[in-house]
Amino acid sequence: MIDSKQIIKNAPSNIGQQLHVNHVGCEAGVDTKRRLYVKRTDKGLVAYCHHCNESGFTRDNTDTRLSTWVNKQHTTAAKSSRPILAALTTEGAVWLRTNYCNTDNKLFNGIAGQKHQVALTLLSPEGETIGWQVRNLLPNTIPKYITHYIDDSKKGDAAWFYKSNKTLVITEDYLSAYRVHNDTGLNSVALLRTSISDKTLNQIYELNFENIVIWLDPDEAGIKGTTHAYKKLNHFLPKQTKIAIYGNDKEPKECTPSQLLCILI
């Protein structure tokens, strides 16, 4: 839950206006890309962090007890909500094809009543569905991603594409991980953020990979996340595990299938 003091401190002046700032104390790691969005509505101040997927709500003209209660109700509702899946819309299919994705894959769904949203199915290493990440396709839509987990015990888990071979590619976003696995046959995991959680680290250890490639986004947050992930993996995994960092000006999902094969195989 985002601290109400931080929301009020960064609140815009006019209804409908929104500001994006660095999320101080973000659970997903240091935020340097201003991923905390604060918007003023006629009901109060709404906040969402695209880095850690936490939300918040408060009023800057009521007492603290009321703000805390409203914030708690908002957060609880967000946790318990689940998307109503539907067939892909034309808009969703076009977006997926633009990113070289197979629109027939059952991992991709639409959202009932929403033309411009795609639900990406989150899987555990065992192939079990743990939730969905909903991508908003319209430009300047905040938040761009909303992640729903089946239950709180899965909250913050990474999305896996696993088939028992000995090489793992670590990416930041879902489509990049899907593309790596679909186009090269290698295992992949999408952190859904720039930091690697202890649970994901333990899963990587248990699956006993021989080769690991870290390929996060080529921005400042991704570069810092890569360094942090490398240090954690290098410290935690057996010495014989080979860990490589791939530096490129593209994200995996931006590469063509042949480019991914050339880079990773």
CATH number given to 158-265: 3.40.1360.10
Domain boundaries, the chain: 4-80, 82-155, 158-265
pLDDT at residue 80, as a whole number: 41
**Mean pLDDT over all residues of the chain?**
88
pLDDT cut 90: percent of the chain above it: 62
pLDDT at residue 124, as a whole number: 96
Ordered per-residue pLDDT tens for the chain, 265 residues: 888 888 888 888 777 788 888 999 888 888 888 888 888 887 788 888 888 888 888 876 543 443 443 444 444 434 446 889 999 999 999 999 999 999 999 999 999 999 999 999 999 999 999 999 999 999 888 889 999 999 888 989 999 999 989 999 999 999 999 999 999 999 999 999 989 999 999 999 999 999 999 999 999 889 999 999 999 999 999 999 999 999 888 999 999 999 999 999 9
**Whole-prediction pTM:** 0.71
pLDDT at residue 41, as a whole number: 82
- Using the CB atoms, write b or e for 40-75: b if 16+ within 10 Å: beeebbbbbbbbbbbbbbbbeeeeeeebeebbeebb
- Computed from CA positions of residues 191, 195, 198, 201, in that sequence, does the dihedral angle turn out positive or negative? positive
pLDDT digits (tens, 9 = 90+) for 204-232: 999 999 999 999 999 988 999 999 999 99
Bridge partners (DSSP) of residue 36 are 21, 49
Q: Are strands 114-123 and 36-40 parallel, antiparallel or unpaired?
A: unpaired
